[in-house]
């Protein structure tokens, strides 16, 4: 499932915005590549220095993402932080 998500992400017309870049963090974390997950989180901070997991949690719940999956998604993001 996460490899498929990665392929979909690569097709996005604007992969450089922070809202899309942060999705790579979750995908790489779930695939077990925490170094790449951290690199993408760093890129998020370069794009928007005020970006944070709290901000993601705040705005992410407004996306058309099924609410039942949101806690699991945030858990994927947290994998990167917990392993640091």
CA–CA distance, 82 with 15 (Å, rounded to integer): 25
Report the 10 Å Cβ neighbour count for 74.
15
What domain count does the chain have? 1
Within 8 A by CB and 6+ apart from 1, the residues are: none
This prediction has a pTM of 0.76
Instruction: For residue range 23-62, list pLDDT tens digits in order.
Output: 888 888 888 999 999 999 999 999 999 988 888 888 877 7
Task: Return the pLDDT at 47.
Answer: 93
- Measured between alpha carbons, how far is residue 7 from residues 1, 14, 23 in Å? 10, 14, 12
Task: Return the pLDDT at 81.
Answer: 63
Domain that holds residue 6: 2-83
């Amino acid at each position: 499932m996460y490899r498929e998500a990665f392929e979909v992400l690569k097709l996005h017309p604007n992969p450089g915005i922070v809202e899309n870049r942060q999705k790579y963090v979750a995908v790489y974390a779930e695939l077990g590549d925490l170094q790449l997950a951290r690199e993408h989180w760093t890129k998020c901070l370069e794009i928007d220095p005020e970006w944070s997991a709290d901000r993601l949690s705040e705005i992410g719940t407004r996306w058309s993402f099924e609410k039942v999956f949101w806690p699991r998604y945030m858990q994927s993001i947290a994998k990167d932080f917990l392993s640091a």
